[in-house]
Amino acid sequence: CERCGVEVTRAKVRRERMGHIELAAPVTHIWYFKGVPSRLGYLLDLAPKDLEKIIYFA
Per-residue pLDDT of the chain (58 residues; tens, 9 = 90+): 788 887 888 888 877 777 778 889 888 888 888 888 888 999 999 998 999 999 988 7
Would you say residue 16 lies in a domain? no
For residue 6, what pLDDT is reported? 78
Would you say residue 10 lies in a domain? no
Would you say residue 1 lies in a domain? no
For residue 44, what pLDDT is reported? 93
Helix (H) or strand (E) holding 11: helix 11-16
38 and 32 Cβ atoms separated by less than 8 Å: yes
Would you say residue 7 lies in a domain? no
Would you say residue 50 lies in a domain? yes
Would you say residue 12 lies in a domain? no
40 and 28 Cβ atoms separated by less than 8 Å: yes
Would you say residue 48 lies in a domain? yes
Whole domain around residue 44: which residue ranges?
Answer: 22-55
Domain count within the chain: 1
